[in-house]
Amino acid sequence: MIVGATAGNALEFYDFVVYGFFATAIAAAFFPGRDPTTRLLLTFGTFGVSFLARPVGALVLGAYADRRGRTACMVLSVSLMTLSGAAVALMPDRAVIGLAAPCGILAARLLQGFALGGEFGSATALMIEHSPADETRAASWQGTSQYVASLVAAGVAWLLSDVPGGALLHVQPFRIAFGLGVLAGPLALLLRRRLRDAPAFERQEPDPASRDPGTPAGIAIAAGMVAIGTALTYLIVYLPTYAVTQLHMRTGSALASVVVLYPVILAFTPLRLRIARAFDRSRRIAPMQLSCLATLLVGYPAFMLLTHWPGQLMLFLLPLGLTLIGLAYNAPLVGFMGLVFPVHRRGIGLSVGYALGITLFGGFAPAINTWLTAYTGDPRSPGLYLAFAALVSMVALFAARRRIGRPGALPLDPAKGSPLETT
């Protein structure tokens, strides 16, 4: 169940990491402009614009997941994701079809964003509903699947980055990387067709007297909770491009640092599961708040160290340190978000909250970091953006604590009501 549920999330992050790592090659192939910075901004801008389709997909597919079932939505979303990846892999260059190339890439990314709008909510809801009293630990596998997919994507990008002549069998390396992701789509589809919705979903009976968790306030809290995790995730995706453009490192050297990073992060999976299990037992949010505060304080100084000692070692240590600092927050995050919403509104509530958070703080992060660095002339600017995201998540956690009326703790028994509904 966990493998099938996280397969879509893994495909999502494989696609994002490949797009981020091959940003300069994609810019040269599809986007106009003589200035490399302008082309790069257009590339990352398209990456960000595609996230605007996520809230739309979250509304449509989230409602579909609540009405027709989690597995039905998961099958549909992974099918659309595979179609989008194939479009990028097969799109002719701008030199061949002109402006139709960047328009086609934009359309493919919008389709990807729409599909992903319902992916996270339905898959996470399925894992939570199949794991009573162990919801956060089960949902924490979403984060692990991200790192597995990112490791595979970084490895593929690294192997293809130094291909002699920049192409293999006259095929651009980024097309090969996207093509490998497309081949994984049918396997994920096969896994998901074998899944069944949890009994908790099938026997649900919505309580019309309960407070509607889909109100703007509840969704805003969920979106704010996502801010720091998604900002850090997409910062790592952006780092190879940052290393090449700001630290003047070779592409292969920058990618090698990230390739080594992911297996080290995966080695902390048992700790991630223990932290999530502890949250399931205590429902205490104080460790999450301390993690946000630590990230807020070290974000900018970390980039000061990287610019003072540029190189592979610091490019490895910076994201590793930030990831470990954020582990106390990110390990229980996904399950915590899912428990905010009752079963009959979990699909749409979780989908919309997550989609808004990813769109606001993740999708445009590479473009914002590129623009901030160019506008301020300060290569340490990405640290400011990370600190801002940490501040947003801190505010969201305080708002959640205030709504539940019990400082520092959530109700121990989720069956008695969703956390944000308890007063």
- Transcribe 179-220 into DSSP letters: HHHHHHHHHHHHHHHT----HHHHT----TTS--TTSHHHHH
Mean pLDDT of 308-324: 89
* Lowest mean pLDDT segment, chosen from 266-270, 272-276, 332-336, 418-422: 418-422
Q: pLDDT above 90 covers what percent of the chain?
A: 14
- For residue 169, is it left (φ>0), alpha (ψ between -120 and 50) or beta? left
- Whether the Cβ atoms of residue 20 and residue 243 lie closer than 8 Å to each other: no
Distance from the first to the final alpha carbon of the chain: 34
Q: How confident is the model over 325-384, as pLDDT tens digits? A: 999 999 888 888 777 777 777 778 788 888 888 888 877 777 787 788 888 888 888 888
Q: How confident is the model over 123-181, as pLDDT tens digits? A: 888 888 888 778 788 888 888 888 888 888 888 887 887 655 455 556 788 888 899 98
Tell how far CA 201 is from the center of its chain. 25
pLDDT tops 80 at residue 50: no
pLDDT tops 90 at residue 293: yes
Predicted pLDDT at 393:
93
Q: Say which residue, 421 or 89, is predicted with more confidence.
A: 89
Predicted pLDDT at 167:
52
The whole-angstrom separation of Cα 163 and Cα 220 is: 45
Q: Say which residue, 29 or 393, is predicted with more confidence.
A: 393
Q: pLDDT above 70 covers what percent of the chain?
A: 88
Predicted pLDDT at 415:
45
Predicted pLDDT at 423:
29
pLDDT tops 50 at residue 417: no
Predicted pLDDT at 215:
63
- Whether the Cβ atoms of residue 413 and residue 280 lie closer than 8 Å to each other: no
Show me where the domains of the chain are located: 2-198+215-421
Give the count of alpha carbons within 13 A of 155, CB side only.
Answer: 11
Mean pLDDT of 397-406: 66
Which tokens is 235 given? 């910062």
How is residue 197 annotated by DSSP? -
Q: What is the mean pLDDT of the chain?
A: 81
Predicted pLDDT at 94:
85
Q: Say which residue, 260 or 32, is predicted with more confidence.
A: 260
- Whether the Cβ atoms of residue 332 and residue 140 lie closer than 8 Å to each other: yes
Predicted pLDDT at 294:
94
Predicted pLDDT at 403:
62
Which pTM does this prediction carry?
A: 0.75
- Residue 271: pLDDT band (50, 70, 90) is very high
Predicted pLDDT at 198:
83
Owner of token pair 């915590």:
336
Q: What's the 3-state SS for 156-167?
A: HHHHHHCCHHHC
Which tokens is 413 given? 């028994």
Q: Say which residue, 388 or 363, is predicted with more confidence.
A: 388
pLDDT tops 60 at residue 408: no
Which tokens is 253 given? 């050297």
Q: Say which residue, 200 or 93, is predicted with more confidence.
A: 93
Q: Say which residue, 421 or 227, is predicted with more confidence.
A: 227
How is residue 361 annotated by DSSP? I
- Residue 290: pLDDT band (50, 70, 90) is very high
Mean pLDDT of 11-36: 79
Burial (Cβ within 10 Å: 0-12, 13-18, ≥19) of residue 107: middle
CATH superfamily of the 2-198+215-421 domain: MFS general substrate transporter like domains (1.20.1250.20)
The whole-angstrom separation of Cα 231 and Cα 228 is: 5
